Amino acid sequence: MSDTLDTVRLDREIHRTTAPNGVTVLSERVPTVRSAAVGVWVRTASAHELRPKMGVSHLLEHMVFKGTERRTAQEIALSLESRGGSLDAYTSRDSTAYHARVLDTDLSRALDVITDMIRRPVLRDSDLSLERQVVLEEISTVEDTPDDEVFDLMYETMWPTHPYGFQILGTKETVSALSADDLKHLHTRAYFPGNCIIAAGGNLTHDDLLKEVERQGWFDGDGKTAAPLTPPVPPVPPAVRGVTKAVEKDTAQTHIVFATDTIPYADRRKYGMLVVSNIFGGGMSSRLFQRVREELGLAYAIYSFTSFYRATGMAGVYVGTQPARAEKAAEAIRGEFARMAREGLRGEALEDAKQQTLGQLMLSLESPTARMYRLASTAVYGEQYRSLDEVLKTVEALTEDDIAALAAEFFAPERQTVVSLGPNGGKS
């Protein structure tokens, strides 16, 4: 089998292997730790769903933990926890991931458990009736957490007809209507090797990882036979920009999100977006925090955010404030948007923002799990691998003109869609 694998050394301790059947394996060796992180990413998630099946990817993610042909749900739970490790999963818009953090000596055990869950779940009706209730409770939790719910409302407002605007958890109506056959159909068309990425980081070698991956059957098949094809993400229409939507809810605070569509994950301008977002609302020293919280006392929680996906991105601001002060807070935020769009970042302000971003990028890679995530993301989002040094140089090379162009395009107040959630629709 090794003769048919295409292995490339991406960096000093980083390798990528592609098998004939399409599965991609990435690893980074970190010899200074005694642990390892390993995960499998399925390139199918909420962005691939039809509206009536909204939430099916997330429900399947839950259901594979309920038992396999070899393990009960309890045996899955004990398999790694009994060794001091952890096992988890999540569903995003572009992928569904299953990952573990274990002692380096338990790497093969972790991959065995994850493979078992992904390739051989039983998906019983009896388990579905129970787990459906768990997911419905999860949806209720979001409804009881307005600072989460307002983001779901924003996605729906910006992409009302596209799966990027769907709720990842689904709705109570769609989840209640999903059947075991729906889960089995999704599993058949999405959970096959050619649609998966395996990534690992920690005290391991790429050759040993490949041997374990092969032992688990991930290299079986040549990819030439007709494999199930997951539908591509539908073309993303232009996001709805510059509208205001107020949703009434009996809450103690008014929760407001300003947001606009930006750029995909693989776009190199994302590093410039991170720099601008950091100085705009990335911490206690940011402009929004200093203006809205420290100077005006209008909010406790205020921050900027960036999210990058395979086909698009989002950037914006969240604030939670007293209903009577909501309009003042929104006015102050619009003022900062206008200032950023007009002035950009210059001189010392730009250098400080770049240094903050450089520090965050370096600190974010301190754990094997973080390194695993970074490798997987390059494959999930179709990004060319860049070493940390290359990324840092990209940030350091950002000019005032680069930042001014991003600020003028994406921070213009008239471009922002605004969604508020609270008493009287968020109006004071």
Name the residues annotated as catalytic.
Answer: 61
Kind plus residue range of the DSSP H or E element containing 351 = helix 347-363
Q: Tokens in use for 329?
A: 């807070």
* Chain centre distance of CA 357: 19
| Alpha-carbon span 234 to 310, nearest angstrom | 12
| Alpha-carbon span 27 to 38, nearest angstrom | 9
Residue 216 backbone phi and psi in degrees, to 5: -85, 0
| Alpha-carbon span 1 to 66, nearest angstrom | 33
Other C-beta atoms within 10 Å of 201: how many?
Answer: 30
Other C-beta atoms within 10 Å of 239: how many?
Answer: 21
User: The sheet that has 96-103: what strands, in order across it?
Assistant: 6-11, 14-18, 24-29, 196-202, 35-42, 96-103, 86-91
Q: Which 3-state string (H, E, C) describes 193-219?
A: HHHEEEEEEECCCHHHHHHHHHHCCCC
